[in-house]
Amino acid sequence: MESLLRKSQQKIKNVPLVFRRYLYDRINFKNRQISIIGSRGTGKTTLLLQIGALQNKKSTLYVALDDLFFTNRSLYGLAEEFDKHGGEILLLDEVHKYPDWSRELKLIYDDFPGLQVVFSSSSILDIYKGESDLSRRTISYTLKELSFREYLLFQHNIQLPQFTLKKLIEEHERISLEIVDQIKPLKFFSLYKRHGAYPFYNGDDNEYYQQIINIINLTLEVDLPAVKPVEYTSITKIKKMLYVLAVNVPFTPNISRLSEKTGLSRNALVEALQLLNKSELIHILYKQSKSISLLNKPDKIWLNNSNLSFALSNGRPDEGSLRESFLVSQLNSFHNLSIANKGDFIVDNTYIFEVGGKNKSHSQIKGLKNAYLVKDNIETGVLNNIPLWLFGLLY
């Protein structure tokens, strides 16, 4: 274990602390077992190491679960030894790469009450459906891609406050006017849509998009088989489906036609869509008030964020798709979002949003209560016209 401790100390010592993701301040560190789930590339490893650096505990151990240490040692055995030596926080990275993760995490929680465990995993993983149910023991958090607000701070050192959706809607005119006095938001928003969602952009668009393609491949070829038995031929078909979706989003699925194009049966196709959604490569939404089951086909599909659209469409995505994809990505994790009967979206069964360019008319939401036009390419809002970029300040 000494070599693991040395590696851990070095990694924690070197982790940058200037920029912290929104999630750090939302975690309740009083809980004994915490999970951080999210797609590849969002910064889960960095967040774990920052937790190690900032929680001010005397004895912290960070370890990746694909470390060679575990070829002949168990996770439980490591936790037992660490606890005997006064260990306080055990940080476990990519727990889904360890075969008996759920059973051993349950035993660690039950047998070592003085040890806090924080673990990361793929967004595909359902910690409540492992071999052992962790629902009563683990508090789970999801790390999303960078918001527009986080991108401004991370890449341009521009600090803007977060707003709740209610406050943003009620005070969007004042908020947008105050921000426009400080920066030109449309210039930065255009850059964000191209390369702002992940914290690894280094100035080269082509290299960045290749990294995104690599993330997609690793998610489907490594993470997916680690949590669900799936044949390689099925993975190839799922990849094909993702590329079909990429050139057609926003996509209203015709299951029969999509089945023909991919070679997947109807049930396999619907299951694949659910897996892509869970892996945070796509968003799927259903119509308002619709009864939802895992066998229902989605009513509309988007890629998970605008950067994926640029990577998968050779840099020429549809503008309307980018707008809707951005809004869905900012709202979908923290609010109840559905396809509206009139307008584009209904949020929390209260707010109706119609999304479009700066010349979009009110015709589709005319006479509707709590209905707003969300417009791209406008700096400031007026009445029920809200700038699209403002929704990037929600987290």
Residue 351: what pLDDT?
A: 98
Least reliable range by pLDDT among 86-100, 129-143, 189-203, 210-224: 129-143
Q: Residues 153, 138: one domain?
A: no
Question: Whole-angstrom Cα distance, residue 170 to residue 172?
Answer: 6
- How many domains are there within the chain? 2
Q: Residues 104, 178: one domain?
A: no
For residues 324 and 302, the answer to whether their CB atoms sit within 8 Å is yes
The three-class DSSP label of residue 303 is: strand
Question: Whole-angstrom Cα distance, residue 363 to residue 374?
Answer: 13
Read off the pLDDT band of 100 (50, 70, 90).
confident
Boundary residue ending a domain (142, 170, 198)? 142
Residue 255: what pLDDT?
A: 87
Across 293-318, average pLDDT: 86
Q: Has residue 292 got a pLDDT over 70?
A: no
What is 374-393 written as a DSSP string?
EETT-SS-BTTEEEGGGGGG
What is 310-352 written as a DSSP string?
HHHTTT---HHHHHHHHHHHHHTTTS-EEE-SSSSEEETTTEE
Q: Residues 41, 70: one domain?
A: yes
Q: Residues 67, 165: one domain?
A: no
DSSP 338: E
Residue 103: what pLDDT?
A: 93
For residues 45 and 11, the answer to whether their CB atoms sit within 8 Å is no
Question: What angle, rounded to 10 degrees, do the helices at 205-218 and 185-195 form?
Answer: 50
- β-strands 139-142, 89-93 pairing: unpaired
Q: Residues 88, 186: one domain?
A: no
Read off the pLDDT band of 295 (50, 70, 90).
low
Question: Whole-angstrom Cα distance, residue 278 to residue 320?
Answer: 24
147/134: higher pLDDT = 147
- Looking at every residue in the chain, the average pLDDT score rounds to 93
Residue 136: what pLDDT?
A: 84
Place of tokens 């990294």: 211
Least reliable range by pLDDT among 97-111, 248-262, 321-335, 366-380: 248-262
Boundary residue ending a domain (142, 169, 197)? 142
CATH number of the domain enclosing 21 = 3.40.50.300
Residue 232's alpha-carbon distances to 121, 134, 218, 321, in angstroms, are 22, 30, 13, 30
pLDDT tens digits for range 177-216? 999 999 999 999 999 999 999 999 999 999 999 999 999 9
Residue 122: what pLDDT?
A: 85
Question: Whole-angstrom Cα distance, residue 104 to residue 52?
Answer: 22
C-beta atoms surrounding 83 within 10 Å: 18
Neighbouring-strand partners of residue 352: 346, 371
The three-class DSSP label of residue 116 is: strand
Percentage of the chain lying above the pLDDT 90 cut: 77
Residue 63: what pLDDT?
A: 98
Question: Whole-angstrom Cα distance, residue 56 to residue 58?
Answer: 7
Q: Residues 264, 387: one domain?
A: yes
Nearest-Å Rg of the Cα atoms of the chain is 22
Q: Has residue 294 got a pLDDT over 60?
A: no
Question: Whole-angstrom Cα distance, residue 101 to residue 3?
Answer: 22
Q: Residues 110, 158: one domain?
A: no
Task: Identify the CA nearest to 155 among candidates 208, 111, 233.
Answer: 208
Q: Residues 125, 208: one domain?
A: no
Residue 228's alpha-carbon distances to 97, 168, 272, in angstroms, are 12, 40, 11
Residue 41: what pLDDT?
A: 95
Q: Which two tokens stand for residue 12?
A: 């924690």
263/154: higher pLDDT = 154
Q: Residues 86, 190: one domain?
A: no
Q: Residues 280, 349: one domain?
A: yes
pLDDT tens digits for range 2-50? 999 999 999 999 999 999 999 999 999 999 999 999 999 999 999 999 9
Q: Residues 115, 261: one domain?
A: no
Residue 312: what pLDDT?
A: 93
Task: Identify the CA nearest to 376 among candidates 157, 193, 163.
Answer: 193
Containing domain of residue 35, as a range? Answer: 2-142
Question: Whole-angstrom Cα distance, residue 209 to residue 194?
Answer: 9
Least reliable range by pLDDT among 4-13, 260-269, 300-309, 330-339: 260-269
Read off the pLDDT band of 341 (50, 70, 90).
very high
Q: Residues 128, 213: one domain?
A: no
Boundary residue ending a domain (121, 142, 163)? 142
The order of strands in the sheet holding 60-64 is: 60-64, 89-93, 116-122, 33-38, 139-142
Residue 290: what pLDDT?
A: 64
Q: Which two tokens stand for residue 74?
A: 């168990």
Residue 374: phi and psi, rounded to 5, are: -100, 110
Residue 149: what pLDDT?
A: 98
The three-class DSSP label of residue 251 is: strand
Percentage of the chain lying above the pLDDT 70 cut: 96
Question: Whole-angstrom Cα distance, residue 172 to residue 153?
Answer: 21
Q: Which two tokens stand for residue 70?
A: 């575990």
Q: Dihedral of CA 162/322/254/234: which sign?
A: negative
